[in-house]
Amino acid sequence: MPLVPAPEHFRQQLISAMPRLRRYARSLVFDTGVADDLVQTALERALQRWRQFDPQRELLVWLLSIAHNAFLDGLRRDARFTVVDPQDASDRQDVLQADAGVDIGLRLDLVAALGRLSPEQREPLLLVTLEQLSYAECAEVLGIPIGTVMSRISRARVALRAALDGRARSPQAAVLRRVV
Do 122 and 103 share a structural domain?
no
Task: Express each pLDDT in 49-75 by its tens digit.
Answer: 888 888 888 899 999 999 999 988 887
Model confidence at 159, pLDDT cuts 50, 70, 90, reads very high
Q: What is the domain-level CATH number for residue 146? A: 1.10.10.10
DSSP 133: -
What confidence score (pLDDT) does residue 179 get? 39
* Residue among 117, 141, 113 nearest 21 (CA): 141
Do 93 and 71 share a structural domain?
no
Q: Give me the domain span that covers residue 126.
A: 118-180
| Number of domains forming the structure of the chain | 3
Do 67 and 28 share a structural domain?
yes
The model's pTM: 0.55
* Residue among 131, 105, 117 nearest 163 (CA): 117
Do 97 and 57 share a structural domain?
no
